[in-house]
Structure 1
Amino acid sequence: MAKKGGENSKKAAGNARKADQANKKKQEAFAAAEAEEASKWDQGSKKGNKKKEDEQFKKEEAARKKAEREALLKAEEESMPSKPANNKKRGAEKIAAKRTGKIDDFLDFNSEKPELKASGIDNALEALTLATQQDGGIQHKDFDKHPERRVKAAYLEFENRRLPEVRKENPGLRLQQIKNLLHKEFTKSPENPMNQDTNVSYNTSAKEIAEKKKEVKEQREKKFT
C-alpha cells in the first residue's frame, strides 16, 4: 500500500512540474507578444511624429522663403525711381478721348467742323477718314480692275443673309419669286462689287488711278457737305 502511494505522489509531482513549465512557457510567449505589439505601436508613433515634424518643417521653410522674396521685392521697388501711377491707362484714356472728340466733330450737333457733317457713328467715321487720312483713306489696293470676278461670291453671301428676311417680309411668295426680288435688290446694292466707286478698267495706269483717287474722294465728300 505504501509503495503504491509513493508512486502516485511522484506522478502527481511530475505532472505539477509539467504544468508549471507549460504555464511559464505560456506566460513567456504572452509577454513576448505584448513586447512585440508595444514595439510596433512605438515605431508607428515615432513614424507619425516624424511625418508631422517633416510637414511642419516644410511649412516653416516655405513661409521663410516667401518672406525673403517679399522683402527682396520690396527693397527692389524702393530702390527704383518712382513713376506716375496708371501711366499706361491714362495714355489709353487720352487716345480714346481724342478719337471720340474727332468723331464728335463731324456729328450734326457739333459746328466746329463745318466742312463735313455726318449723322450717326458710321457716317461720322467715314467723314473722319475722309478729312484726316491721306487721299481720304483711299488706297491703291482698293481699286479693282476685275470686279466681275467677285460678283458670284458676293451674291451668295448676300442671298444667304437676305433670304430669311425677305421670306419673312413676303410670306405668300414662292422661293423663285423671292430669289427674283433678291436679284433685283442686289443689282443696286452697295454690296455688289460692280457698284463700287473704286472700279477701274483692266488697263488703267498708275497715273490714272492716282487721279481716280482724287475723284473718288471728292465724290464721297459731297455726301457730307
Structure 2
Amino acid sequence: MAKKGGAAAAGGGGDSKKAQGQARKAEAAANKAAAEQAKLAAVEDEEWEKGAKKGSAKKENNEAKKAEAARKKAERDAALAEEEKSTPGRSAPKNAKSAVKKTKGIDAAFGQLDSGSGSGGNLGALNATGIEDAIDALGLTESSTNVAEIDKHPERRKAKAYKVWRQNNVEREKELQREGFAYKRREDKLYAEFCASPDNPMNQVAAKYNTTRSEMAAMHAEEKRKVEERLGGKK
C-alpha cells in the first residue's frame, strides 16, 4: 500500500512541474508580445512626431515668406513717403482743370507749328504725330531755354515712379502669374522692366547735382536739337 501511495505522489509532482513549465512559457510569450507592441507603438509615435514637425516647419516657412513680403512693402512705402516729404510739389496734377490746360497748350503748339513760328523760326516743317510727339513739339515752341526741366535728382522720383508704373501694369503682373512666375521672380522681373522703361526717371534727361546753369542750357539745347531732327524726319 505504501508503494502505491508513493507512486501517486511522484505522479502528482511531475504534473506540477509540467504546469510550472507551461506557465513560464506563457509568461515569456506574453512578455515578448508586450515588447513587440511597445516597439510598434514607439515607431508610430516617432512617425507622427516627424509629420507634426514637417507640418510645423512648412507653416513657419509660409509665415516667414509673408513677413518678408510685408517688410519689403513697408520699406517701399517708407521710401515713397520720404521721397514725397523731401520733394513737395513734384507730383503731376490730377484734376480735370490741369488736364484741360495741358490740352490747350498742345493745341497752341500745333498752331505755332502750322504758322512756322516758335524758336528758330523753322518749325513749320516739323511733323508731330501722337501724344508723345505733340508734347515734344510743345516743348520746342517755348521761346526761352527752360533749364529747370532738367532734373538734377531723378533718383528721388524713382520710387514714386515705380509705384505708378506698377499701378499701370497690373495686367503684366497677372500675365507673369499665369506663366507660373513665383513671387520673388515676378517682383524682380517687373522691377527690371521698369528700370529699362522710359517711365524710369533715371532714363530721362538728368544732370549732376553740381552742373552749372550754362552746362544745363547746353544740355537743353542738345535735347531740343534731337527732337527737331526726329520730328523733322517724319513724313
TM-score by length of structure 1 reads: 0.45
Query: Based on CA coordinates, which of the two structures has the bigger radius of gyration?
Result: 1
TM-score by length of structure 2 reads: 0.43
Higher RCO, Cα 8 Å, sep 6+: 2
